[in-house]
Structure 1
Amino acid sequence: MASPLASLPLVKKDGSKGDITGKVVALYFSAHWCPPCRGFTPALKQFYETLKEKGENVEIIFVSADKTPEEAQDYFADHHGDWLAVDFKATKEREQLSRHFEVSGIPSLILVDSHGKAVEAVDGRSDVASCKTPEAVMQTFAGWKKSAGDWRETAGTALGGSGAPAAAGDAAALRAARLAALEKAGR
């Protein structure tokens, strides 16, 4: 089942289309006029850059609450990491995301699973803010991958398994993939 996020109009900083296929995704609800957002964005940028330097498949999607396209673009271009944004012109989609994920304040960082649902067990903003070292970033992200992926559907790929598809209902193959992933993570 494809994620409903896959149909969002996602753009990169250069205006080209973005893609989230096969990535761990977090939605970042923020705006330039928000002082806590301006305080948190640099920490999120460092978190993201650390993961990218380590070759991790991660994507942050900026969902702007700015008032004008110019404010959103300037904030995105000048202060954010090299991640994606929901096209500011897609007002309806941005509003739907805020309602769907029940965003009551910004900044808000919501980890989503492969079905586009919020991972309730993860407090993205607190997780990122607590990471003071690259090791802490990697440990936090390992937890995110585990929470956002469904090893039963991906034969362990979300946990670092071989990625070989297991037959539906093949409990032994699924268990073996999960154990292999856990052993690999424990090294």
Structure 2
Amino acid sequence: MAEYLKDFALFRNDANHSAVSADEFKNKIVGLYFSGHWCPPCRKFTPVLKDFYERSSADLEIVFISRDHTEKQMMNYLKESHGKWLYIKTNTENYKKLNKKYNVLSIPTLILVKPDGTTFESDVVEEIFESKGSSELIKKWKEKMNKT
């Protein structure tokens, strides 16, 4: 995914909202997280994903694609609930490209993608909800990513 996202403006959800290069996560599994603060199932899943990410961040990078209507809503949602993962600003050209390419019809959705941007898992929200620990799930995804 690093290759596919190399021209995207990515930011880390940290104190400085630092700009990040896609090269920084080129050897990780990348999940595209489509979510919005106004969505009750998203607000239920985001803390679960945050915990999963904190245990798995050595092997996993999340890129948040907000379905919130304004940047202010997105930033409040990031501050309130999200992990220190990446995000793309809402309503930008890159945001529109990702929404069009992956044609996400419902949220929350977490898509796992290969470096070229092709999907190898179309939605892993339920898998994460049901997982008892991240190491087995990460191992399974790495194997699947390398096979497909």
TM-score range relative to shorter protein: 0.7 to 0.9
1:62 corresponds to which letter in structure 2? Answer: F
Question: Which of 25, 29, 42 is residue 47 of structure 2 equivalent to?
Answer: 42
Aligned to 2:4: 4
| Cα root mean square deviation, aligned | 2.0
Query: Structure 1 130/2 Cα, relative in aligned 2: closer, same or farther at 3 Å?
Result: closer
- Name 2:80's counterpart in structure 1: 78
**Counterparts of 2:2 and 2:56, CA distance in 1:** 24
**Corresponding residue for residue 139 of structure 1:** 136
Q: Is the 8 A contact 1:51 1:138 kept in 2?
A: yes
SS at match of 2:19: coil
**Unmatched segments (≥5 aa) in structure 1:** 152-187
Q: Is the 8 A contact 2:26 2:115 kept in 1?
A: no
Tell me, yes or no, if the aligned pair for 1:12 and 1:82 is still in contact at 8 Å.
yes
Q: Deviations over 1:31-65 (max 9, x none)?
A: 1111110010011001101113xxx2310000011
Q: What is the one-letter code of the residue matched to 1:35?
A: P
Aligned-partner Cα distance in 1 for 2:114–2:5:
10
Matches within 5 A, 1:12-161: 12-13=12-13, 14-19=16-21, 20-52=25-57, 56-88=58-90, 91-120=92-121, 123-132=123-132, 136-149=133-146
Deviation, 1:78, is: 1.8
Given that 2:114 and 2:145 are in contact with CA atoms closer than 8 Å, whether structure 1 keeps it comes out as: yes
- Larger Cα Rg: Structure 1 or Structure 2? 1
Asked if the contact 1:24–1:58 (Cα under 8 Å) also holds between the matched residues in 2, the reply is yes
Contact 2:59 2:138 (C-alpha < 8 Å) held by counterparts: no
Do the aligned residues in 2 keep the contact of 1:113 with 1:147 (CA within 8 Å)? no
Gaps of 5+ in 2: none
Q: Is contact 2:33-2:63 (8 Å) kept?
A: yes
Shift of 1:75: 0.5
What is the CA-CA distance between 1:3 and the residue it aligns to? 2.2
Deviations 1:100-134 (A, max 9, x none): 112001110000012111114x53112111113xx
State the identity as a percent.
36
Structure 1 or 2: larger helix share? 1
1:5 alignment partner, SS class: coil
Contact 1:10-1:86 within 8 A present in 2 as well:
yes
Report the equivalent of 1:169.
none
Distance (whole Å) between structure 1 residues aligned to residue 124 and residue 20 of structure 2:
22
Structure 2 residue identity aligned to 1:38: R
> Taking structure 1 as the reference length, what is the TM-score of the superposition?
0.70
Normalising by the residue count of structure 2, what TM-score does the alignment of the two structures yield?
0.87
Query: For this pair of structures, how many residues does the alignment match?
Result: 143
